[in-house]
Amino acid sequence: QVQVRESGPGLVRPTGTLSLTCVVSGGSISGTNWWGWLRQSPGKGLEWIGEIYHSGAVNYNPSLKSRLRISVDNAQNQFHLNLTSVTAADTAVYYCVRVLQNIGYWYDAWGLGTLVTVSS
């Protein structure tokens, strides 16, 4: 059974860079599935950040695209989120997910989530 788990700093300074890693276990990241990041804040609910395929192909939310980079490390079976120039509005619980191809690309596996607070 595939599991995903987020890790990274819980506190980021304003104007800094938010960096998170998602480790995939129980299966290979190099299959037919995509992998994604979402976030949830009290003010905005669930927000789609972006998705990546093991080839490196990415889809980004246009509202974040200028600050966002999602990358994949097939050897380590993990993928990464980098969000630059953060503000308090980026404070949220960040989730990594598996986007399961054989049911039409829905989020069937979620990490526990990691709270990232942007504050000085």
Partner 1 sequence: EIVLTQSPATLSLSPGDRATLSCRASQNIDSDLGWYQQKPGQAPRLLIHDASNRASGIPARFSGSGSGTDFTLSISSLEPEDFAVYYCQQRHNWPPWTFGQGTKVEMK
Among the residue ranges 9-17, 18-26, 76-84, 109-117, the one whose residues contact partner 1 (CB under 8 A): 109-117
Q: Quick check: helix, strand or coil at residue 37?
A: strand
Residue of 10, 75, 103, 120 that binds partner 1 (CB under 8 A):
103
Q: Does 17 bind partner 1 (CB under 8 A)?
A: no
Q: Does 53 bind partner 1 (CB under 8 A)?
A: no
Q: Quick check: helix, strand or coil at residue 65?
A: helix
Q: Which x/- pattern, by CB under 8 A, does the window 60-99 give for partner 1?
A: xxxx-------------------------------x----
Strand order in the sheet with 78-83: 3-7, 18-25, 78-83, 68-73
Q: Are 106 and 117 in contact (CB under 8 A)?
A: no
Q: Quick check: helix, strand or coil at residue 101?
A: helix
Name the site residues for partner 1 (rule: CB under 8 A). 45-48, 59-63, 95, 103-108, 110-113
